[in-house]
Structure 1
Amino acid sequence: MSKEEQPEETYGHLDRRQTLLPLLASHTRPEPLALDLDAFRSWDTAQQQEFNDLRLARIVDSIVVPIPKLTEVLKQVRLAAWFAERPVGRTGVFLTGPATMGKTTAAFHAMVEALQRHEKRYPNWRELHHTPVVYVEVSSNSSAKAFMGRLLDYFSIPYRPRTTLEERTQMVMHHLRRGYTSLIVIDEMQNLSKLNNGNFESAQAIKNMLNGVRAVPLYVGMNLEGTALTNGELGAQFAARSTMVKLGPLGFATTSEQNVWRGVIHAFEEQLGLFAHAPTTLFPNAKLLWTLTGGSIGALSRLLTTVALELILAGDPDAETVTPQLLRRIKLDVATERKLDAGEDGAPRAA
């Protein structure tokens, strides 16, 4: 293959078939390791370190909380899959919301489920060289030609810069059909939300491509409602064929909202795997956790996992308890910190 034909460099960890499909196929939800403090104390330093390394890796990689909105995303994608075989009337799903609300996590689990459904139907899908799931990102100021190039890169299909949009689209559709693709996740859709000439062409190319394949599109992006992607002449065509799931911060104003929030906290506590921290320990601090994170699942995950990591790394298993003091000194992502600094009424937080 000449240098001219080489696919562009990878854009992320999900956008190559050879990376994504094994990751989805091997995904499981590991349970916390069984904790026996007396046994832990009887081990030598190397054994304790190995056990702690396993705990650290599981906390970083595997904690997922089944919030109601995640359940809704999976439900809508499953429903859309039932319509995918119809020649007309197929549907897609918009997944939208601000940053740190769990969109990527929800999309990942939708892909896991899609692969599992495919495997039940085609147990030998690997030998048949199927590509049940495809993931691609829309780059800023993406042209339709570049977008189709990214899809070809996902399949590791060589192409030349002079390959036309029509040729690229036909190549992509050929591989989607041949791979029996059932779910196409198109991420960073906010990059098409302002439909200039180039973005309009990209959005039109996406619609045309999906007209020719029997796959569910899952459009993922920030604050997509009310944009040109769901309004106007072209947006109306996307909107008429799709349902929308909005991810946002969880509330704490009503008893029902508080119960949901405590359920999320409990789910995290069950998975932290700390020696001296029993689930429900943080229930009295539910309002504090909500205030610190603004109800963001992403911020809550970062907060609790960071505290858990620090406790394990401190090397004192008897002190592995998440406390309000520890919670208050953890720095969160910049966006959450800015909201916290401003306060709910917009007034700066006291130092």
Structure 2
Amino acid sequence: MLETTDTEALARQTRITLARNAASTATARRGLAVSGAAGMGKSTALQLIGKRHEKAERTRLDRITDSAFAPVVYAVVPPATTPKMLMQAFAHWLGLPVLQRATAQTVTEQVVSVLRTLGTTLVVVDEVHNLTTNRQAGAEAASALKQFADRLDATFFYAGIDLPATDLFAGNMGRQIKARMIVHQMRPYGIGSKADREAWTELVLGVEDLLPLAGHEPESLAEEAAYLWDRTGGSIGALRALLSDAAIGAIIDGAEKIDRRRLDATATDYAADEHHKAQAIRPAQPRKRGLKRAQ
């Protein structure tokens, strides 16, 4: 994983949110929502945050190898989810058996009991845009998630695509959720300013450094930075996919290096391909960004 300005900001906000919730006796705890288009690295960022919190808590409490301790739990919201499907996702992560005839309430009670026993303090819920509250099942699932969060002495982090525009943040339920959430918006890298171009080039070199290519000249992709932005639209996910696929091709045919010809021959995802063909996307607002390897 690579440390970016987004992950640094999220790490800082995580520490603040966890400390605030630990000191609060109120039921309505503060949460964090990470929003953005597909391929911005939302899930990867939250997994990194979860990994760090897990390591820190195990070290702080001297429970490094304790299998009866789980400070972090991660679950993905299934498409067209129902309350039972949502709670089954948590049960699956925990390895809990769920009877087919079990009700959503039964599964919830089981999950809540186990999470309390395991000492969970951070719950990461991914793909929350799948909670479509304009349908009865989705609205019930969103309500179940809210009640679930209220019953646990834990901080909840959410990730999803364009969350402010989703059903989750609409209506009465949405107003309650928004009142508790800090939203971090992840955007594509831009190249509209010198600082943006330098940050993008630094990201390119960071991804390049991860590639296991025996014959590749280090930092040779710096001169292809503008080309790579045009191919990926500034998406870190698209960039990593493009360079990884190019590296795999180079390993398969024995070249062990990446150049412009190799990049031209490497396909990208459809969204990045559309950007490349249109060449009309507006760069993101200039902002200073930094990069280093995540620990």
Aligned twin of 1:334:
270
Aligned twin of 2:261:
325
The runs of 5 or more residues in structure 2 that have no matched partner are: 283-295
Aligned twin of 1:162:
101
Which structure has more strand as a fraction of its residues? 2
Name the CA distance, whole Å, in 1 between partners of 2:90 and 2:221. 45
Contact conserved, 1:266 with 1:280, CA < 8 A, in 2?
yes
Aligned twin of 2:8:
71
Over 3 Å counting, the alpha-carbon distance change for 1:159 and 1:193 in structure 2 is closer
Letter in 1 for 2:277: D
Q: 2:251 aligns with which of 312, 317, 322?
A: 312
1:291 is displaced (CA, Å) by 0.3
Aligned twin of 2:196:
257
Question: Which secondary structure state, in structure 1, belongs to the residue aligned with residue 69 of structure 2?
Answer: coil
Question: Which secondary structure state, in structure 1, belongs to the residue aligned with residue 174 of structure 2?
Answer: helix
Over 3 Å counting, the alpha-carbon distance change for 1:157 and 1:274 in structure 2 is closer
Over 3 Å counting, the alpha-carbon distance change for 1:305 and 1:131 in structure 2 is same
* Percent identity (aligned): 28
TM-score, normalization by structure 1: 0.74
Alpha-carbon displacement from aligned partner over 1:244-290 (angstroms, at most 9, x marks no partner): 11222110111111111011012122222434434332222211111
1:74 is displaced (CA, Å) by 2.5
Letter in 2 for 1:242: M
The runs of 5 or more residues in structure 1 that have no matched partner are: 1-63, 347-351
Question: Which secondary structure state, in structure 1, belongs to the residue aligned with residue 168 of structure 2?
Answer: coil
Over 3 Å counting, the alpha-carbon distance change for 1:321 and 1:145 in structure 2 is closer
- What does 1:67-106 correspond to in 2, within 5 Å? 67-85=4-22, 86-88=24-26, 90-106=29-45
- What does 1:175-194 correspond to in 2, within 5 Å? 175-194=114-133
1:168 is displaced (CA, Å) by 2.3
1:307 is displaced (CA, Å) by 2.0
Name the CA distance, whole Å, in 1 between partners of 2:36 and 2:281. 22
Alpha-carbon displacement from aligned partner over 1:6-43 (angstroms, at most 9, x marks no partner): xxxxxxxxxxxxxxxxxxxxxxxxxxxxxxxxxxxxxx
Contact conserved, 1:115 with 1:133, CA < 8 A, in 2?
yes
Number of aligned residue pairs: give it: 280
TM-score, normalization by structure 2: 0.87
Letter in 2 for 1:70: T
1:151 is displaced (CA, Å) by 1.8
Aligned twin of 1:229:
168
Contact conserved, 1:114 with 1:133, CA < 8 A, in 2?
yes
After the TM superposition, which parts of structure 1 deviate over 4 Å for at least 4 consecutive aligned residues?
none
* RMSD of Structure 2 on Structure 1 (CA): 2.1
Aligned twin of 1:344:
280
Q: Over alpha carbons, which structure has the higher Rg?
A: 1
Return the structure number with greater relative CO, CA threshold 8 A, min gap 6: 2
Aligned twin of 1:241:
180
